[in-house]
Each structure stands twice: as structure tokens, then as C-alpha cells.
Amino acid sequence: MLDAQVGTPAVTMRGVSRAFRPEGEAPVVALSAVDLTIDEGAFVALLGPSGCGKSTLLRLVAGLDRPDAGKIEAPALASQEIGFVFQDAHLLPWRTVEENVALPLQLRGVNSTAGDHTARVREALREVDLESAARRYPAELSGGMRMRASIARALVTRPRLLLMDEPFAALDEITRHRLDERLHELWREQGLTILFVTHTIFEATFLAQRALVMGRRPGRILRDVILDLPEKREPSLRASPAFMREAQQLLEGLEEASA
């Protein structure tokens, strides 16, 4: 929610650098001395041209990769209250939707009473309106349903920090709008902190309170934009002048970053 808890931020990065050295090629500086603070409960969009290090940044926050230099703090990581949604759903094809959603609970092994699991899985499926498909296999779902299953899987552990890497990029526009709206509601309901990578300016404008525009070579944050829009986002917002104004501001930033 907007009234961010004063105290420790959800994510703090200080001078974080990460370079990749592919064999036989020149090293790629994916991130160079990035400083970043994300407040607890914020919805932050991360934009930038391809290859500027957005995924690298997300993976570092999730502890899936280590920086070459600098410090990263994310209390949710230490307390295992973190969720990650990838660009594609990446469900286990041999498990039904509900079994996929139960996976994080099984892997964590905490509270492993089966009944408790079932209740939490059902709850997570309800949050993404997917209860009717609980018993189906991923191969039997549409792309949008698969993505919703993937979000339910990330929500089932009740994370405080949700990292999303272009989650809806592969979906058609209408489906993406639906999911954006649902995601925004979930964020308001649950008081999550969300860090959301996207290539779509309109999506970033619709969802986020704050947008970070990154540039590449080396990967760094070029602009930090506060989006001046109402906290509750209705579908009609997309046609409003305020929305266009904020989107235009982001577009300029992105064009500058891509130059």
C-alpha cells in the first residue's frame, strides 16, 4: 500500500556490479555500480532496452546470482518470503495446475500438513480465478491460464516481495490487460512489494507507482520516474490524459536510454 512502512526498505542495492565473461568473447558489463532503494509495499516497474541487465538485476535480488561488487539487501530473501515469476509460465508439465501451485510449499517443507497445503493452494488459485482448472495439466491450458497458474505458484507462499520478469510478454493484449488489472488488485489487497520488468510503456504506466528506466553498456539506471496517477487503477485509466502524459514521460526516458 501507499503508506509504506517506515523502516527497512524491501530492497537496497549499493554499488552493485555484475559482468559476464563468456568464453572467447569480450566481457559484458550487465550492471555497473547500481544504487537502488525500493520501499516496502511499492510497485516498481523496470524498463529498458534489451540486454540492459533487467533480468540480471532481478536474479541478483532473488539470490539466484551473485554480484561481483556491491551490496544487496532484501529482508524478504533472508526470511524466504520471496516469489519469482518468469517470462513464460515454466510449469512442470507432468503436474496438474494445483500440483504445480503446491510445489513451493512442498519444496520449502514448512507446515507440511497436507490439509493446510490444500487450503493455501485453493486460496492462491482463487486469487487468480483459476479454481476451475485446478485439475488440468499445463498442456491443456491457454497461455493466459498458464501464466495465472504461474502467478498462483508465486503467491502460494505468501511472499512479501514479488519479482516478475516480463511475465505477460507472450500474451495477447487483451489478456495482458486483464492480468495487469488483476495483478494490481492483488498488490493492493496483499500489500506486496512488486518489482516488475516489462518492455511495454503502457503496462508500466498502468501498473506502477514508480518506474526505473535502465540503459545498457554498461547496464545502469538512467531515470527514476514517479508516476503521478491514482492509486486505484481502473481499466478506463488507460484512455485518460493523465495516463498519456505519464506514458509520454516514460517514452522519452526510454528513447533517451536506448539512444
Partner 1 sequence: MSSESTRAESGALGRALSFSLPPLVAAVIFFAVWEVLVAQLHVKPFLLPAPSAIAKVALAERKLLMAAMQVTAETALAGFGLSAIVGVLVAIVLASSRLVERALFPYALVLQTVPIVAIAPLLVLWFGVGARAVTASAFIVSVFPVITNALAGLRSVDPNLRDLFRLYGASRLARLFRLELPWATPSIATGLRVACGLAVIGAIVGEFVAGFAEDDQGLGIVVLTSYRQLRTDLLFAAVTGSALLGLAMFAGVTVLSHLVLRRWHASAK
Ligand X SMILES: Nc1ncnc2c1ncn2[C@@H]1O[C@H](COP(=O)(O)OP(=O)(O)OP(=O)(O)O)[C@@H](O)[C@H]1O
The 10 Å Cβ neighbour count of residue 26 is: 7
Which of 28, 33, 171, 237 is the binder for ligand X (CB under 6 A)?
28
Q: Sheet harboring 69-73: ordered strands across?
A: 28-38, 11-20, 69-73
Q: CA dist 200 to 47, 89, 210, 249, Å?
A: 8, 19, 14, 13
| Interface mask toward partner 1 for 204-233; x: CB under 8 A | ------------------------------
Q: At residue 91, what is the residue type?
A: L
Asked if 17 and 33 touch (Cβ cutoff 8 Å), the reply is yes
Q: Among partner 1, ligand X, Mg ion, none, what does residue 56 contact (CB within 5–8 Å per kind)?
A: ligand X
Segment lying near Mg ion (by CB under 5 A), choices 48-56, 74-82, 109-117, 221-229: 48-56
Which of 55, 200, 209, 249 is the binder for Mg ion (CB under 5 A)?
55
Quick check: 123 binds partner 1 (CB under 8 A)?
A: no
What is the C-alpha separation between 70 and 21, in angstroms, rounded? 18
| Closest listed residue to residue 195, CA positions, set 59, 68, 90, 63 | 59
Least Å from the CB of residue 52 to ligand X: 4
What is the C-alpha separation between 138 and 80, in angstroms, rounded? 26
Residues 2-61 contacting partner 1, CB under 8 A: 59
Quick check: 64 binds partner 1 (CB under 8 A)?
A: yes
Q: Among partner 1, ligand X, Mg ion, none, what does residue 22 contact (CB within 5–8 Å per kind)?
A: ligand X
Q: Among partner 1, Mg ion, ligand X, none, what does residue 30 contact (CB within 5–8 Å per kind)?
A: ligand X
Coil/strand/helix, residue 240:
coil
Quick check: 82 binds partner 1 (CB under 8 A)?
A: yes
Least Å from the CB of residue 233 to ligand X: 24
Residue given cell 501451485 in the structure block = 101
- Grid coordinates standing for 182? 488483476
Coil/strand/helix, residue 27:
coil
Least Å from the CB of residue 171 to partner 1: 17
Contacts with partner 1 by CB under 8 A lie at 59, 62-64, 80, 82, 84, 86, 88, 90, 92-94, 103-104, 106-108, 137-139, 157
**Residues at the interface with ligand X (CB under 6 A):** 20, 22, 28, 30, 48, 50-56, 219
